[in-house]
């Protein structure tokens, strides 16, 4: 699954550390999501989308199997 987290984070002018604190996760979690090495829980995915004021599918792009 691809994502636009880095793009959205930079658009808001936030560092990985700042975004992590705002979402209640570690900086490593943000790094892993941005690199595509970790797919967040559904709960976290919705929190991310809500934080940026977009739909979940605007952050995470499913590319199939």
Per-residue pLDDT 10s for the chain (65 aa) are 899 999 999 999 999 999 999 999 999 999 999 999 999 999 999 999 999 999 999 999 988 76
Q: SS in 3 state form for the chain? A: CEECHHHHHHHCCCCHHHHHHHHCCCHHHHHHHHCCCCCCCHHHHHHHHHHHCCCHHHHEECCCC
Residue 43: phi and psi, rounded to 5, are -60, -45
Instruction: Give me the pLDDT at residue 28, please.
Output: 98
Task: Please report the pLDDT score of residue 64 as a whole number.
Answer: 78
- Cross-strand bridge partners of residue 16: none
pTM across the whole model: 0.91
Per-residue pLDDT, 55: 97
- Please enumerate in sequence order all residues whose Cβ is within 8 A of that of 53, keeping only pairs 6 or more positions apart, or say none: none
């Amino acid at each position: 699954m691809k994502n636009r987290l880095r793009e959205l984070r930079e658009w808001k002018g936030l560092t990985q550390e700042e975004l992590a604190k705002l979402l209640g996760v570690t900086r490593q979690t943000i790094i892993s999501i941005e690199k595509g090495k970790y797919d967040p829980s559904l709960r976290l995915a919705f929190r991310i989308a809500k934080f940026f004021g977009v739909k979940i599918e605007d952050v995470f792009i499913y590319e199939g199997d």
